[in-house]
Structure 1
Amino acid sequence: MSIAFLARLARCSSGPHVGRNGLPQMALAPLPLKQDIALYSAIPKRQIHTPSDKRRSGTRFDADSSGRPTTWDSFGIWDNRIDEPILLPSSIRYGKPIPKVSLSNVGCASLIGQRKENEDRFQLSQMTDNIIYFAVFDGHGGPEAADFCHKYLENFIKDLVAGEDNLELVLTRAFLEVDKALAKHLQCSSDAPGVNAGTTATVALLRDGIELVVASVGDSRAMLCRKGKALKLTVDHTPERRDEKERIKRSGGFITWNSLGQSNVNGRLAMTRSIGDFDLKGVGVIAEPETKRIVLSPVHDSFLALTTDGVNFIMNSQEICNVINQCHDPKEAAQRISEQALQYGSEDNSTIVVVPFGAWGKHTNSDTSFSFSRSFVSSGRWA
């Protein structure tokens, strides 16, 4: 679909978004570009009919006069089981149809598992007119650090976005600022849990429905399903990583292993980056996130999944991808993943956020070859 065709839709529409039912019901005049002429020639011509005949529509958008929009797969674009309007300004800018992501269709689930309390937190919001915010936090040493990020991190990001267009830079600065703010909060609060409270943070910003930017510290993850395959957007910050281990050692810290074979910083923390954990900041544990920017493909990208380690330690990324692809909608998918992690033996809190994209429902891979060599050891960050 060319930019010229999208521009014609813009001139025919009355609002900023054009829904699948809201596209102009009219025959289009021949367009000057070759690809547009080909598109025009593919539109069925109006046929002569009698009152007893089934009336055929003169456009592709309601070909059987059923009142239901033709699925986008009829255009050879995608097969989306979730009906979403098209973001017209973004579609014109990028030269291809881009579906809107509605928060009402995002799936979220968080189960306590075998823990005494749920220290996981998740969040999603329409942060600005063109940016949507998604986040998961997995607290340790109490829920205070996760609660603080849940309450304030979005505000830091929103303030920075007003003056900075680079979303990777925005997220990096926001993580560092919320870490400093948490330190002051713990120092000033008489009932604060102390300097060993901390949290992972995995945040995704979706701008214009197509630009996805992810930032993460700790071992919560972000994964994109592309063409039915899991594409990892984050890498865990653990002492097993050579670059992370070297930074800890250069800063005067050390790595130990507990009886379960888990590596820990200074015998306490099973991650090398986090928000909080101020007693370990002097030995190389940092709050600076690693970031990644990716341009989505509405034709190939089905969903984004943000998960905490209660899910990640028991199910690999492709397993998560396969299970979600079998689900009818993201809400069912989030519930199924969180429950399945517990059924497989996870004792930690299990949290997931599933964000549907343009190709939702297109890649229904039936591969269910899950690993039977799972570790049924309780995941944790403490030695």
Structure 2
Amino acid sequence: MSTLPPPLTQIPAQIACAGDYEPYARERMTPSAWAYLEGGAADETTLRANRAAYERVRILPRVLADLAGGGTELDLLGLRLPHPILLAPVAYQKLAHPEGELATALAASAMQAAMVVSTQASVALEDVARAASAPLWFQLYFQADRAATLQLVRRAEQAGYRALVVTADAPVNGVRNREQRASFALPPGVEAINLRGMPPMGGGVARAGASPVFGSGVLAHAPTWRDIEWLCGATSLPVVVKGILAPADAQRALEAGASAIAVSNHGGRTLDTVPATLEALPGIAAAVAGRVPVLLDGGIRRGTDVFKALALGASAVLLGRAYMHGLAAAGAVGVIHVLHMLRTELEIAMALAGCRTLADIDEQALWPGAAVAG
């Protein structure tokens, strides 16, 4: 029998911002599950950098602006959304709450937030779709062969998903020392259920003395730009390429047919010491030059973080660990609360910075000379 406390049934008054959910989430997850959710790669330099980047950027307040009729609505890949805060794909959400992705879908629907469902979700993508009234996107990991990949794509199409989000920055797992030290393993009843019955990805442990990664076979089926081109031609859904930090890769994604770019370093979980996503964002936005939407994830905890990302070129943001803390602490109600607080903070920031709509948020809304890079 679990000794973990049950999810909250009432939200304590002490929870005043998204970050306040973290201790409540931690005590409701096993140490190994917490290490999986919170850990980054290696020394977790990038994990910390994602947060620190927001602290270096300053907002420039403006007074006496005409704010009548303002709002946070936007058009994104054929969707009319009431606000620019989406829920990022997070695998194995039953590690955080027994209802997993179903609770998150309920919260997304209540808050009219688009939700990206992971290939490695612990609930079948069709079941999530049946539970949701909010728009869903499907995060896609390429499988060992195109037939298996296409099977996932067709399932997402038939279930009513509105876009495909290809994670491009993890052909291998990062060096996740925190997970290793916690001996993380999926508990009984939690699995990547969408991949049940599919061929394994292949690879294994390299022979002693052999190349540990290149000699293991794990990269034999790693996707390339040719796979992105194939996917864009194989589906009518818009394809978002997620995991872009280099402007040249953003350009290459557009050439391959991508409908949007997601600036991401996988939450600091793949290659350590890469730039914070907010640091990389201006270069990506300049390379894209408004041709497609630019999304961003990594380190967002406040509505002011959302504001800063929009000012530096993002069209919308993807929220990750912050909503998972709400999920672990209080299920769907916790996710709803996190989204509501961030949207409230964003609208307050807009009002105090004299920005009536999202279109008014640009670099002029930031303090001149504020350094994004450390």
Indicate the structure with greater strand content.
1
- RCO greater where, 1 or 2, for CA within 8 Å and sep 6 or more? 2
Over alpha carbons, which structure has the higher Rg? 1
Indicate the structure with greater helix content.
2
TM-score tier after normalising by the smaller chain length: under 0.3
TM-score, normalization: structure 1? 0.26
TM-score, normalization: structure 2? 0.27
